[in-house]
Structure 1
């Protein structure tokens, strides 16, 4: 005989007359009369009202089992807010399975609770409907991903958690080896090298829902530990990988929302920077950057005698932005690197009102007005500087003014392609890679590897691509270099000699000598995807046991100190931090 016949939230009018047994936590208790009380019993499916003996000592969060008969509530007593609101369980026999101390915080969602308290008592916090919903959304995302990947011929393979430290950018978490004193393992920042070795090993199509760890500063969209879909495919190009990942994304989205996204649009990195000032544009709203440089080609206004002038149109902004708000935005623009912010209100008949109009010609005023398609009541905001600064500042300003909330209900996926191969040029004149050094250059730019100098390296495109959702970077990938000639050239440009290359990447380079197929891959963050699909701004709300912003775990008190005998066994000695 099972402990329960039904879940609390699944009972309906069709169950009236049935004897049922339900189990769960006491959510609320209300005295009805001298002899009767109402208990709202809660499990992960919802709440059901039960009529019990008033004398029973049933308190908040007691775990109980109730056996009784489903009946229709009295007329006028139904609760439209509950799916079980038309029925209740009467003639109840109650069994107390576990008593509970008063909960450390109110269990109702409308109550704000300090995050440290929530995480200290996470086992209680997880009972809340919000957390139950979020974690089940996350589980559905994982299931949909696995289904899509296996349908496309991918094989799930687990890669090691104890590896050698590799130069992937962020700091490694390290694990001392007892059997190999003075030596350390690293916890993987990603399975990057192992998945490429799988391709050399003939696996053909690999995937894994992988746990990755990076010792980096935390914020709303970062944790020390995070989960990602990691995949790699042999004899595949950029288009193949984009199609594979798009299928997994569409499956996940449909599993949660019931709607399958349309084909995901593509945009080059250069277009994204020029139009949105960001390589992860939020395309749920417009407010695109408009280039006004040519309008001010022969200007007398000194502020516009610069490399680049761009503007954005804030529709209805004349009324929405008071002068103190504009001053605050100007200060932000300056903190982002701009010299200032030029602004103009669009008045009746399209007349521009702003402090700089007296320095501008009629042609310049008309050019701004027509280029931005401004209407009365709008606000025009302009930044003038070198192009990279203009794009960066206006991109941030656009988000500051127009970005919808995370839980807007709108999902805008976007592929960004043709990223630069190098992100900057160092003081030594050598370029700094924008990705790992195994990223394949764009085929049309291969010749530039032999001729580029200085800033010319920044014009070389890569076969790297990102997936963006609502302005969040979900993940990134690239076509990998698999030929020794191109790899040697990249190492040469980066100033990585043969000895250093073998020290850092020797086992991968050795593997490539035994026949490496052309291959490409991708990885995207499941935490971020689950957060957006759940309408959450913070990924901690979709992780069962996350760390705080400072990287601590209030539940287990991690990180903790080790006993001296444990340190001695590992060959370690504590050195006080320098002040």
Structure 2
């Protein structure tokens, strides 16, 4: 047995030595040849793919590298055919020399190397693949391997043409971004990856160190006087380990960079880390195009005046009253007419201009698509009212309406019988006619396919549906427990009867249509409403079951602005908030200038009405970027930390350097982070960002190829002063 093993080992070593001999350099890549190279002798190297076809005289093998594929023409009479080419395993690495020849006319294909073949003269295996691969990436006819198998053998998965194109397109778009930003005088600056843990929102990844309690006591003031000795008292016991935290975003470093005055306009392709539960569009480590700019404005009316006058103050007060009244008649009238309040009323317009220019160049260079010159703008309250989402998909209609806008004013008190802060929303699914667009029929069938039972009378998450028939077309409102108490029946003895037919016409309701009704709080919170979720579900069912397709080149960009500055509705931040207010975006976002006094005087739920200078960029129902104008005044920033978020001294400690920088003179500034992975998934037309990242994690945050995260030996933990938790 020992002799057999030794013989096998010697044979293997001999074969290995033969594969490691010198070989000629390639003259071209596999995707570079064309008809203009006919008659040339070339040397190509790449991966040998499965034989395409053969006859008695020739065999045809595709040869692939990262640039493309070229077909090899192998003559069976060639002396090396039987010895080298015929038995080579698929996906082996080979090098060939041969003559570029033109294909027969009936075998030519447009584009790439479709006009030519390489008549092989010499052929050599540089590294054979094993006979049984987990899957063959070049086999386009086989079912795609499951996600776990693809992740385990990612180096094979990346050989698939689709994946290769995605990675190369990603590099191209990154280069476009850099070109555009450099043209706009942005400077690329790298910020640290090893920072301090701070309560900014999502859970962090902690990095243990071998250092012990090197920071001064949290009660010791930082002084610039070198004559003052450092406090001898450590901030923690000497035995307690210290940790870095990987950044959720480079938020503080980039603001400090702008505060320094060294850079007016900063950018970087920032690596960010968040310890979140796995979702298809999330990764624990991801890339964002991070921007920050000095000297951004603070909103309409906030600029253009170096001082205040009585007339100016009165005008500002009138504007404030008009702008702040989100439920004002002027606004409801526009919404009733279907007109968007398409107005950028916050600061950061300079950021908007840069981002729109950048995104237009991305789409032009990557897809050859000319986007609209200006992206639409919608406030958070309008987006939630009309689409039930803070990131609405505008590729299809199905707009939500407030029933209060459809009924006579005299009936509004009855509609709000449970309180003035309630509203009843309706979502109409139109009837399909012979000449209706395909999406109308698909949405109608999708809505009817939903199994639903109307909830009983009573306030709460009530969700009711009515299918309009000839019998109930003028009585459906009286059958709804949500509005029946305030709408007189059409045959009732009332002095002012309600015109049911007119209401039906106004909301587009006819026999064969459906209407969904929901009672909700009038002031929106969170990211979606019940009808907003229902709207998306209907569209998803229409796509999955009723052949609805949205054109791939239909891009509906939207800015959503004026988010609530503070919230209690974010479950992802509750582990830090513990019932306190938390920042909807992050604690450095500035309030709208019209709402500054409301913020300082706000108590209780009134703080929920303070709007922030926060803007999200949305595309087809996906958030692809978010940013804000920052607080540049130290007193305001400290007030937000201490009085509103109610951070303890320990929780505020990680922000000391930012507060101090603001006290040293900081310009008004703002920025944005664009989700580069998500943008690339859209440009590459894939549903998962894992398809545009070279080495992604699974939905659960694991790396199946590197088998991480992994257990670390106890002796390694001991170096960091960490002990494993007991199982008990």
Same fold (TM over 0.5): yes
Q: C-alpha distance in 1, partners of 2:613/2:653?
A: 26
1:102-113 matched pairs, under 5 angstroms = 102-107=132-137, 108-110=139-141, 111-113=143-145
- Normalized per residue, which structure has more strand? 1
Q: C-alpha distance in 2, partners of 1:6/1:167?
A: 54
User: Do residues 208 (structure 1) and 268 (structure 2) align?
Assistant: yes
User: Do residues 68 (structure 1) and 98 (structure 2) align?
Assistant: yes
Instruction: Give, in angstroms, the shift of residue 471 of structure 1.
Output: 0.9
What do residues 490-509 of structure 1 show as CA deviations (whole Å, max 9, x unaligned)?
23432536834642311211
Q: C-alpha distance in 2, partners of 1:354/1:448?
A: 42
User: Do residues 398 (structure 1) and 539 (structure 2) align?
Assistant: no
Match of 2:425 among 310, 322, 338: 310
Report the equivalent of 1:255: 365
Report the equivalent of 1:416: 560
Q: Is the 8 A contact 2:429 2:447 kept in 1?
A: no
What do residues 363-419 of structure 1 show as CA deviations (whole Å, max 9, x unaligned)?
464244222234665433333343449960111111112257688332221111111
Q: C-alpha distance in 1, partners of 2:255/2:621?
A: 29
Q: C-alpha distance in 2, partners of 1:431/1:378?
A: 42
Q: Is the 8 A contact 2:454 2:464 kept in 1?
A: no
Structure 1: state its 5+ residue gaps.
none
SS of 1:369 mapped into structure 2 = helix
Q: C-alpha distance in 2, partners of 1:526/1:58?
A: 40
TM-score, length of structure 2 as denominator length? 0.72
SS of 1:9 mapped into structure 2 = coil
Q: C-alpha distance in 2, partners of 1:116/1:253?
A: 32
Match of 1:384 among 505, 508, 519: 519
Report the equivalent of 1:267: 378
Report the equivalent of 2:294: 234
Q: C-alpha distance in 2, partners of 1:543/1:7?
A: 24
Structure 2: state its 5+ residue gaps.
1-22, 77-81, 213-239, 298-347, 433-439, 491-497, 544-548
1:104-143 matched pairs, under 5 angstroms = 104-107=134-137, 108-110=139-141, 111-143=143-175
What do residues 150-207 of structure 1 show as CA deviations (whole Å, max 9, x unaligned)?
1111111111111111111111111111133611111111111111110121122111
What do residues 276-320 of structure 1 show as CA deviations (whole Å, max 9, x unaligned)?
1111111111211122224457889x9996632222233446965
Q: Aligned in 2, Cα 1:323/1:537: closer, same or farther, shift over 3 Å? A: closer
Report the equivalent of 1:94: 123
Instruction: Give, in angstroms, the shift of residue 476 of structure 1.
Output: 1.1
Report the equivalent of 2:686: 536
User: Do residues 189 (structure 1) and 248 (structure 2) align?
Assistant: yes
Report the equivalent of 2:393: 282
Q: Is the 8 A contact 2:446 2:538 kept in 1?
A: no
Q: C-alpha distance in 2, partners of 1:73/1:282?
A: 48
User: Do residues 432 (structure 1) and 609 (structure 2) align?
Assistant: no
Report the equivalent of 2:208: 176
What do residues 101-145 of structure 1 show as CA deviations (whole Å, max 9, x unaligned)?
132113234522111111111101100011011111211221111
Instruction: Give, in angstroms, the shift of residue 248 of structure 1.
Output: 2.0
Q: Is the 8 A contact 1:314 1:380 kept in 2?
A: yes
Report the equivalent of 1:291: 402
Between the two proteins, the alignment pairs up a number of residues equal to 573
Instruction: Give, in angstroms, the shift of residue 489 of structure 1.
Output: 3.1
Q: Is the 8 A contact 1:342 1:383 kept in 2?
A: no
Larger Rg, first or second structure (1 or 2): 2
SS of 1:447 mapped into structure 2 = helix
Quote the RMSD (CA, aligned, Å): 3.3
Q: Aligned in 2, Cα 1:500/1:62: closer, same or farther, shift over 3 Å? A: closer
Q: Is the 8 A contact 1:406 1:536 kept in 2?
A: no
Instruction: Give, in angstroms, the shift of residue 224 of structure 1.
Output: 0.5
Q: Is the 8 A contact 1:155 1:206 kept in 2?
A: yes
Instruction: Give, in angstroms, the shift of residue 33 of structure 1.
Output: 3.4
TM-score, length of structure 1 as denominator length? 0.89
Q: Aligned in 2, Cα 1:68/1:356: closer, same or farther, shift over 3 Å? A: farther
What do residues 465-504 of structure 1 show as CA deviations (whole Å, max 9, x unaligned)?
1111111111211111111332233234325368346423
Q: Aligned in 2, Cα 1:34/1:295: closer, same or farther, shift over 3 Å? A: closer
Report the equivalent of 1:573: 723
Instruction: Give, in angstroms, the shift of residue 559 of structure 1.
Output: 1.0
Q: Is the 8 A contact 1:292 1:371 kept in 2?
A: no
Moved more, 171-180 or 370-379: 370-379
Instruction: Give, in angstroms, the shift of residue 79 of structure 1.
Output: 4.7
Q: Is the 8 A contact 2:267 2:292 kept in 1?
A: yes
